[in-house]
């Protein structure tokens, strides 16, 4: 996803001199080509993420479209006050980019796990929150956020789904992508765990259970129509996210259903439950440890449909 983001941003910068990229002293090698091609549209502020958001806001208020790029929580929770008070309050054209959503940096421990960011950032007024599930969505979300005025959050994952045909699709922020049709249950997810969810859906199909899989690449604004259709047309909704269930995708879907009176027949949230990932390991290992792998999803759906 990171490479897809940089590739698309490079094209955007070539076409529009207002596009500006900032980094908190990382991305060497990945961002080198961009920096060399567009030296007047690039700035490394050093290990100073709070300052990065402040400078980004100033540049945005002078007409730039600024992408502020850093690892996991460093571009978000470390500088939450600056995102809130500087960028959001002034409705500045600042796009906060997190590379390493969820357990992407699993081996570095909970300080590098971005597992509360969606719930925290989505409550800020005026912000657009995008959590792409594959490289196509990552590239399209980059372009869409650049064209959308105001503050945006782009959460990029180390993992991503693959093999999904997008040849007949048009990406739209705020519009859920239905990547698999089904009527027995809806699996709604965000981020790179989409690949795991697709594998679970294929496994469940062997039991005759058809899954509608939704890639909820935009958490805010939420596509209420598609969520309500899933609640009415399928046997229930299971949300899957590499994030705490408190305030994340599961919470948004529940709010949407209740506020619109489209109550799903069955409902479950899969994610971290009132805990940090206290162990370290690869992203794949942590998904298994915290019951977010395909086997856990299959089991949860089977049990839910039997209730």
Phi first, then psi: what are they for 65, rounded to 5°?
Answer: -110, 105
Distance CA(143)–CA(270), nearest Å, equals: 30
What is the residue-level pLDDT of the chain in tens, covering all 307 positions? 999 999 999 999 999 999 999 999 988 889 999 999 999 999 999 999 999 999 999 999 999 999 999 998 999 999 999 999 999 999 999 999 999 999 999 999 999 999 999 999 999 999 999 999 999 999 999 999 999 999 999 999 999 999 999 999 999 999 999 999 999 999 999 999 999 999 999 999 999 999 999 999 999 999 999 999 999 999 999 999 999 999 999 999 999 999 999 999 999 999 999 999 989 999 999 999 999 999 999 999 999 999 7
Q: What is the pLDDT of residue 28?
A: 82
151 close to 83: Cβ distance less than 8 angstroms = yes
Is 81 catalytic? The answer is no
Catalytic residue among 36, 49, 233, 291: 49
49 close to 97: Cβ distance less than 8 angstroms = no
Q: How far is CA 265 from the centre of its chain?
A: 27
Pairing status of strand 94-99 against strand 152-156: parallel
Structural domains in the chain plus CATH codes: 2-156 (3.40.50.970), 177-306 (3.40.50.920)
Residues sharing a CB contact under 8 Å with residue 147, sequence separation 6 or more, in sequence order: none
Distances (CA, A) of 124 to 2, 83, 90, 132, 149: 25, 9, 12, 20, 15
Q: What is the pLDDT of residue 72?
A: 87
- How many other C-beta atoms are found inside a 10 Å radius of the C-beta of residue 80? 16
Q: What is the pLDDT of residue 27?
A: 81
- 161-191 burial, b at 16+ Cβ within 10 Å, e below that, comes to beebeeeeeebebbebbbbbebebbbbbbbb
Q: What is the pLDDT of residue 264?
A: 98
Burial of residue 140, with CB atoms counted within 10 A of its CB: 0-12 exposed, 13-18 middle, 19 or more buried: buried
Phi-psi sector, 203: left (phi>0), alpha (psi -120 to 50), beta: alpha
For the segment 76-118, what is each residue's pLDDT rounded down to a tens digit?
Answer: 999 999 999 999 999 999 999 999 999 999 999 999 999 999 9
Q: What is the pLDDT of residue 135?
A: 98
Distance CA(107)–CA(105), nearest Å, equals: 6
Strand runs labelled E in 2-88: 19-23, 42-44, 65-71
Phi-psi sector, 244: left (phi>0), alpha (psi -120 to 50), beta: beta
Residue 56 belongs to what H/E stretch?
helix 49-61
Distance CA(188)–CA(179), nearest Å, equals: 10
Distance CA(293)–CA(200), nearest Å, equals: 8
Q: Strands across the sheet with 19-23, in order?
A: 42-44, 19-23, 65-71, 94-99, 152-156, 128-130, 218-220
């Amino acid at each position: 996803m990171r490479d897809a983001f940089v590739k698309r941003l490079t094209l955007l910068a070539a076409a529009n001199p207002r596009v500006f990229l900032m980094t908190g002293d990382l991305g060497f090698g990945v961002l080198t080509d961009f920096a060399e091609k567009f030296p007047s549209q690039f700035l490394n502020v050093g290990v100073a993420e709070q300052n990065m958001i402040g400078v980004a806001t100033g540049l945005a208020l002078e007409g730039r479209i600024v992408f502020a790029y850093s690892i996991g929580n460093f571009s978000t929770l470390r500088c939450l006050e600056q995102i809130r008070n500087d960028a959001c309050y002034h409705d500045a054209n600042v796009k906060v980019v997190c590379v390493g959503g969820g357990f992407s940096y699993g081996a570095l421990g909970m300080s590098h796990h971005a597992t509360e960011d969606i719930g925290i950032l989505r409550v800020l007024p005026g912000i657009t929150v995008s959590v792409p599930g594959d490289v196509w969505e990552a590239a399209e979300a980059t372009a869409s956020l650049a064209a959308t005025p105001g503050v945006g959050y782009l959460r990029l994952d180390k993992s991503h789904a693959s093999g999904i045909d997008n040849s007949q699709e048009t990406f739209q922020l705020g519009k859920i992508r239905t990547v698999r049709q089904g009527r027995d249950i809806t699996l709604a997810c965000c981020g790179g765990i989409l690949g795991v969810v697709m594998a679970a859906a294929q496994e469940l199909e062997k039991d005759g259970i058809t899954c509608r899989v939704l890639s909820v690449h935009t958490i805010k604004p939420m596509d209420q129509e598609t969520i309500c259709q899933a609640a009415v047309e399928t046997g229930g909704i299971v949300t899957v996210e590499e994030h705490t269930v408190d305030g994340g995708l599961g919470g948004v879907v529940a709010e949407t259903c209740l506020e619109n009176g489209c109550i799903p027949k069955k409902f479950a949230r899969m994610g971290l439950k009132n805990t940090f990932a206290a162990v370290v390991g690869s992203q794949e290992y942590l998904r298994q440890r915290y019951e977010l792998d395909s086997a856990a999803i299959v089991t949860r759906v089977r049990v839910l449909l039997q209730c």
